[in-house]
Amino acid sequence: MTTRLFGERVARSEDRRLLTGRGRYTGDFEPAAAHAAFVRSDFAHARITGIDVAAAQAVPGVLDVFTYADLADGFADRLPLLVPSDKLIAPRTQHALAKDEACYAGEVLAMVVARDRYVAEDALERIVVEYEPLPAAVDLDRAAGPNAPLAHLDMTDNLAGLVTEETGDVDAAFAAAPHVYDWTLRMERSASMPIETRGVVARYDEREDRLLVHDATQAPTGVRFGLAMLFGMDPDRVHVVAPDVGGGFGVKVIQFYPEEVLVPWAARRLGVPVKWIEDRREHFLGSNHERGQIHHVHVGAADDGRILALEDRFLHDTGAYCSYGLILPIITAAQLPGPYDLENYRYELRSIFTNTVPTSPFRGAGRPHAAYVMERVIERVSKELNLDSLDVRRRNFVKEFPHHVGVTFQDGGPTVYDSGDYPKGLATLLEQLDLERTRTEIATARAEGRTVGLGFGAYVEGTGIGPYEGASVSINPDGTVSVATAHGSQGQAHETVFAQVVADELQVPFERVHVTTGDTRRLGFGVGTFASRTAVVAGNAVLLATTEVKRQAAAVAARILEVAPEDVVFADGAIHVAGAPDRSIPLGRLAMASNPTRYAFGADAEEGAKLSQLAYEGGDRPLPEGSHPGLAATEYYSPTSGVFGFGFHAALVEIDLETGHVDILRYVVHHDSGRIINPMVVEGQIHGGVAQGIGGALYERIAYGEEGQMLNATFMDFLMVTAAEMPRIEEVHTETPSPNNPLGIKGVGEAGTIPVSATIANAISDALNTPVDHMPVTPEEVLTLAGKIESP
Amino acid sequence: MKPAAFEYLAPRSVEEAVALLAERGEDAKVIAGGQSLVPMMAFRLATPAALVDLNGVSELDHARVDRDTLVLGATARHRSVQELAGLRERCAMVAEAVGLIGHPPIRNRGTAGGSIAHADPAAEWPALLLALDGEVDAMGPGGRRTIAAADLFRTYFTTALAPDEILTEVRLPLPAGAVGSAFVEVAQRHGDFAVAGAGALMIVADDGSVADARLVLIGVRDTAVRSVAAETILRGASPTDPVLDDATNAIRSEIDPVSDVHGSSAYRRRVAIAVARRAVTLARDRAHAAVA
């Protein structure tokens, strides 16, 4: 019997472990380790003229205290630039410990290693740092302007990088456009805020010259190769494990945060295991943020709402350093056109240093900004021309695929949409919404004096970028199948969906497929879990490896069963001859047979050994040329380009004009990420994404004071959405397969987040009949927009 | 976010607790639910040399309604108050206010006495104490004394309690008769400290006029505050919508909210008036329902 799990709502295999407290997180390893704690800069910008650690050294229980002066060789260099670009004017990254200048409040200046974290923090209080405070660049607009305070002492302005690109003839199109508009849109700074903070635990075994690091990272392979180079060690002697990781959303893939270098360094130097578990305050002050951008758009439109020309000049807040190069604003620029065919599009992005926590991708990664700008443009154009914005969207849709956007994608290649069906997607959303009925309800509510509004948002999401991902698949003698990928999971259900792919291909029961992720001891090569790429890139690598194992199994079975490999069938955990199900060999036994040596216990072992003799009978050697023992393969998948999911959101909101509270009465999601491996997992991704999107639309904002001090670095003041703030999400799907990969899938990890700010802004704008061009919209801002209070 | 070292003291009686506190002096702090003190210690904003833990003092662990008075020992949890049978019917304002305190884990651990002694101007218990003309008992080296609500709260996080005194009991008289009451808050998220909040209570006389009215506001100045102006307008008046408007608009002169990361002073003023109006309206409607 052939079963098919691809597309089924298979319950997540990881949930039992995670929900019953059996997960193992970084903090669970090395319970006897010494603990590290860090002195962090009090000032947003200051010269460090001295650090006195003597009193801290004297605290009982302190093993050692380190400053920049203790670092040598590669450890004294600036941390690596993760994504270089020739458009980077000033590729600044920080030192593991600040050398003589601190460029954000929270930058690490000194490290204490002590018996436990309590003692380490006692010692921190005794370290005296001499600062010479400097003017700080904080506000993005101001930092980008003339005579701004300088974020770095050795620079003459704050420009980190500049990119301009144009497709079509924008100037000519503006000259011919009957309607031309200028608008400014702003998104404020936010942050990923995973429930598990970052953490690193390192043990160096001197006798074996072996370094073992547990790191709550999204990319253990890069950490491993980087540490091997820094320490001058053979990579085979460096192991990095990302065990269970409690959320990432982008913030855990920097390679390298200072602590990821310093903790292993201290473990080797001191000869004891060292652990550092970031606390929430450190996470606010020392882990990357995202989102801050200011867009100035110049729009040329036809009478019917078609966008004839679009120019976007925007500022991106890269914070104090730019380890991610220009990747974030480039994603914004590349995906700004969204589902619309912009023949004439030009952008100029300027990435600006400020004396704030550095920024790097957070779920959505530049795309929420893109969708926000484009969808507000569509709404404003529609409003100006008195057109239905849904009609305007339809008129501007890309209709033919592949579609060349005309600007560069984040991977450096052209931005090409592989497939999509935008009219169908929008129609699916409107059907679920019941547009006519909803409009009638809105009219009724307004007649009753209620303030309600309906908003839409659309997006595309470039997913599944390279360079590659790998997978190892092997069939074990007991008939189970082991699968390993090098990049870890932060809760995305890799164990489940990879097992679905393997179980389908080999026709083994789902429960017999065991997936390991994030352990470089199992597979050394890989890239990481980010950019909505795992299902696409690793998923297809799993498929390729499984296909190869299947080929091996068929070859061995064919020899034993004395048929051609094409004539065997995989079913029920066994292989049988086509048309003769009784001529069958269980896969476990076949695994034994494929390894011509004697090792196994149990009744099956004898049978396996006999089969082994049979399998290799008549050959000139025990293992035929070109084969290898066992049924195992490691394969890599490298995509030719990204694959583009898309979707549409609708929000019906009601506003309380006394308090400014925005109540989301309905939230409807259409989503298309190609073929779906597991609908339940996809829905979970969308729900979580929408939650973070609502956070960005209405609640979450990292607030800095004028001097560069963070004003809300606690969960009491930084308002993450909770279950109580979430509306019920109505979710509908279409499946437009990608032609670019064997599984026909596209990534989904960030999709839910991308259009939420745009959708809610459009809904509030509709309710108040006034433009909403700033995100997040706080209750106070709602009241200000509604003219109920003076702007502060 | 690890506290500095401190000495932990676990007395079994109020006398022992008072003696320990006197002995350790101003470097010692009393802990009950720890919902404010422990985070401050974790940030090392508070570094007490010693903690005197009241949780082992069994005589302080009670929550009951004695005839017309809600009586709470110093370690009575918010949750214990929520579990008192019939409290919502007896005084909706108290039940609603307690339900607005944080989240279940906070209510399971935090105490009314701790909230009152801490005197956060956005907290609910000081407002309830003021609105219901309650009182607290304090025990110090000089013995026991009773402090009326009106004399207790001085300014931000500051009360009339001396550093060597322990708040031992809270008493809130619950009005009887044709009474209606309510507590209304606006916070950006469920369970957050309120941007502004209001508790209102109204007793309606047989002729439909207001026999008694109380209006208390939180989050609007340095302490929770009774609105004398609003209560004066309401008492003796017929509680029509225009009268309620007048009364709630009268709070303007009595509030002085600060601007912070969650909103400007102007925003908080508007919200304060909105919650006051809602609370007073609910109190009136419930008082009318109690008559009927």
Mean pLDDT of B162-185: 96
Residues of B in contact with A121 (CB under 8 A): 2, 4, 44
Query: What does pLDDT average to over chain A?
Result: 95
Residues of B in contact with A790 (CB under 8 A): 266
Mean pLDDT of A463-480: 94
Q: Min CA distance, A102 vs chain B (Å)?
A: 22
Q: What was the pLDDT predicted at A99?
A: 96
Q: What was the pLDDT predicted at A733?
A: 96
User: Top-level CATH class of A466-637?
Assistant: alpha beta
ipTM of the complex: 0.94
- B16-56 residue pLDDT tens: 999 999 999 889 999 999 999 999 999 999 999 999 999 99
Q: Does A600 score more than 90 pLDDT?
A: no
Question: Which residues of B make CB contacts under 8 Å with A?
Answer: 1-5, 43-44, 186, 188-193, 195, 259, 261-264, 266-267, 270-271, 274-275
- Domain extent listing, chain A: 18-134+196-246+252-286, 289-465+640-785, 466-637
A498's enclosing H/E stretch is helix A494-506
Q: Which residue of A has its CA nearest to B43?
A: A281
Q: What was the pLDDT predicted at A2?
A: 66
- B80-109 residue pLDDT tens: 999 999 999 999 999 999 999 999 999 999
Q: Does A612 score more than 90 pLDDT?
A: no
Q: What was the pLDDT predicted at B189?
A: 94
Beta strands in A622-692 (DSSP E): 631-637, 643-655, 662-672
A18-134+196-246+252-286 CATH: 3.90.1170.50
B61-173 belongs to CATH 3.30.465.10: yes
% of residues, chain A, pLDDT over 90: 90
Give the span between the Cα atoms of A463 and A411, in whole angstroms: 11
Q: Does A256 score more than 60 pLDDT?
A: yes
- Domain extent listing, chain B: 7-56, 61-173, 179-291
CA–chain centroid gap for A302, Å, is 37
Short-list A43, A65, A47, A188, CA closest to A120: A65
Under the banding of pLDDT at 50, 70 and 90, the label for residue A790 is confident
Please tell me if the domain spanning A18-134+196-246+252-286 has the same topology as the one spanning A466-637: no
Q: What was the pLDDT predicted at A614?
A: 81
- A544-595 residue pLDDT tens: 999 999 999 999 999 999 999 999 999 999 999 999 999 999 999 999 888 8
Q: What was the pLDDT predicted at A705?
A: 96
For residue A762, CA distances in Å to A375, A457, A458, A661, B14 come to 8, 8, 11, 16, 60
Under the banding of pLDDT at 50, 70 and 90, the label for residue A466 is confident
Sheet holding A662-672, edge to edge: A451-463, A643-655, A662-672, A729-733
Query: CB-based burial of residue A571 (10 Å sphere; 0-12 exposed, 13-18 middle, 19+ buried)?
Result: middle
Mean pLDDT of B163-178: 96
Q: What was the pLDDT predicted at A791?
A: 63
Is there a contact between B4 and A122 if contact means CB atoms under 8 Å apart? yes
Residues of A in contact with B274 (CB under 8 A): 658-659
What are residue A505's phi and psi, to 5 degrees?
Answer: -65, -45
What are residue B53's phi and psi, to 5 degrees?
Answer: -90, 120
Give the span between the Cα atoms of B274 and B271, in whole angstroms: 5
- A217-242 residue pLDDT tens: 999 999 999 999 999 999 999 999 99
Under the banding of pLDDT at 50, 70 and 90, the label for residue A599 is low
**N- to C-terminal Cα separation, chain B:** 55
A204-218, A238-252, A585-599, B2-16: least confident range: A585-599
Q: What was the pLDDT predicted at A1?
A: 52
Nearest CB neighbour to B264, from listed A719, A721, A792: A792
Mean pLDDT of A650-673: 97
Mean pLDDT of A88-93: 95
A756's enclosing H/E stretch is helix A756-768
Is the distance from CB of B198 to CB of B55 less than 8 angstroms?
no
Is there a contact between A118 and B186 if contact means CB atoms under 8 Å apart? no
Q: Min CA distance, B86 vs chain A (Å)?
A: 27
Short-list B137, B131, B209, CA closest to B174: B131
Q: Does A543 score more than 60 pLDDT?
A: yes
Is there a contact between B5 and A118 if contact means CB atoms under 8 Å apart? yes
Q: How many CB atoms lie within 10 A of CB A649?
A: 31
Residues of B in contact with A658 (CB under 8 A): 270-271, 274
- B116-142 residue pLDDT tens: 999 999 999 999 999 999 999 999 999
Q: Which residue of A has its CA nearest to B260?
A: A711
Is there a contact between A779 and B188 if contact means CB atoms under 8 Å apart? yes
Q: Which residue of A has its CA nearest to B271?
A: A659
Mean pLDDT of A606-627: 80
> Kindly report the CA angle at A333 between A329 and A337, in degrees rounded to 5?
150
For residue A59, CA distances in Å to A122, A377, A638 come to 8, 60, 53
Mean pLDDT of B263-284: 97
Q: Min CA distance, A780 vs chain B (Å)?
A: 6
Q: What was the pLDDT predicted at A596?
A: 77
B7-56 CATH: 3.30.43.10
CATH code matching the domain that covers A289-465+640-785, chosen among 3.90.1150.10, 3.30.365.10, 3.90.850.10, 3.40.50.150: 3.30.365.10
Q: Are strands A307-319 and A345-353 parallel, antiparallel or unpaired?
A: parallel
CA–chain centroid gap for A661, Å, is 31
Third-level CATH fold of B179-291: Enolase-like; domain 1 (3.30.390)
A317-331, A586-600, B115-129, B142-156: least confident range: A586-600
Under the banding of pLDDT at 50, 70 and 90, the label for residue A641 is confident
- A713-765 residue pLDDT tens: 999 999 999 999 999 999 999 999 999 999 999 999 999 999 999 999 999 99
> Which of B267, B273, B280 is the best residue to mutate to test the A interface, defined by the most A CB atoms within 10 Å of its own CB?
B267
Short-list B146, B134, B216, B204, CA closest to B174: B134
Q: What was the pLDDT predicted at A503?
A: 97
